[in-house]
Amino acid sequence: MIAIYPGSFDPITLGHLDIIQRGSRLFNKVIVAVLRNPNKVPLFTVEQRLEQIRIATQHLPNVEADSFDGLTVNYAQQRQAQVLLRGLRAISDFEVELQMAHTNKTLSTQIETVFLATSNEYSFLSSSVVKEIARFGGSVDHLVPPHIALDIYKCYNHNYPIANPTTTAITPLQSIPMEQSTGTIPNQEA
Ligand code: ADP
């Protein structure tokens, strides 16, 4: 059985890779399909993302990277896939994903959406979180494969990210009140 794992993957994270790795044990083939989305301004071009995915999945012989535009179900039919693979992190994902799965079912009754629950350690992780940390000079080495961390640092024009905040003890007195927080990582200089 062939599964399509569609997404933006801008960039691919360890959370995505966990889904791909587990999916590759369930299906004969997993096609990681990068959506060419004219409505989003990405950090990486589709070609860069494909290259990043290929390097990150080279140890998985039944995983392929490809790009597509238009409807995912049309692409799935074209690739003779029977399954759309998606990952679920939180209730917020569930609402959007369920709506998408139902919509796709109205377009093709032949294609099933299969959800894999995130592994606990990646339940907070998204491409946006990675970009936000890197934009403010933080290390993303623990969130993406090494070659992608380098690509990200190049994009934000810094080669020496500050120490990972999770390895730096923050005592309650140093912690930043919620209203000063950017919503992701605390600004240690505030
Ligand atoms: P999209 O723009 O379609 O949401 P993404 O690249 O953000 O594309 O995500 C692709 C798929 O991977 C989605 O099903 C998303 O829920 C899932 N996903 C993203 N991050 C994780 C994670 N950390 N753990 C499990 N699934 C994830």
Mutate to test the pocket of ligand 1, among 19, 85, 113 (most ligand atoms within 8 A of CB): 19
Q: What is the DSSP string of 54-93?
A: HHHTTT-TTEEEEEE-S-HHHHHHHTT--EEEEEE-SHHH
Mean of pLDDT values over 32-38: 94
Reply yes or no on whether the pLDDT at 185 is more than 70.
no
25 counts as catalytic: no
Which residue's CA is the nearest one to ligand 1's atom 20?
Answer: 126
* pTM for this entry: 0.84
At residue 179, φ and ψ (nearest 5 deg) are -65, -20
127 counts as catalytic: yes
At residue 112, φ and ψ (nearest 5 deg) are -100, 140
Q: Which atom of ligand 1 has the smallest separation from the CA of 125?
A: 23
Write 61-64 long-range contacts (CB < 8 A, 24+): 62/24, 62/27, 62/28, 62/29, 62/30, 63/20, 63/24, 63/29, 63/30, 63/31, 63/32, 64/29, 64/30, 64/31, 64/32
89 counts as catalytic: yes
The model's pLDDT over 8-26, given as tens digits with 9 standing for 90+, comes to 999 999 999 999 999 999 9
Reply yes or no on whether the pLDDT at 160 is more than 70.
no
Dist CA 46 CA 42 (whole Å): 9
Q: Check residue 31 and give its pLDDT.
A: 98
131 counts as catalytic: no
Please, which pLDDT band fits residue 165 given cuts at 50, 70 and 90?
A: low
Please, which pLDDT band fits residue 118 given cuts at 50, 70 and 90?
A: very high
The single residue of 22, 29, 79, 89 carrying the catalytic annotation is: 89
Reply yes or no on whether the pLDDT at 170 is more than 70.
no
Tell me, what amino acid is at 89? Answer: R
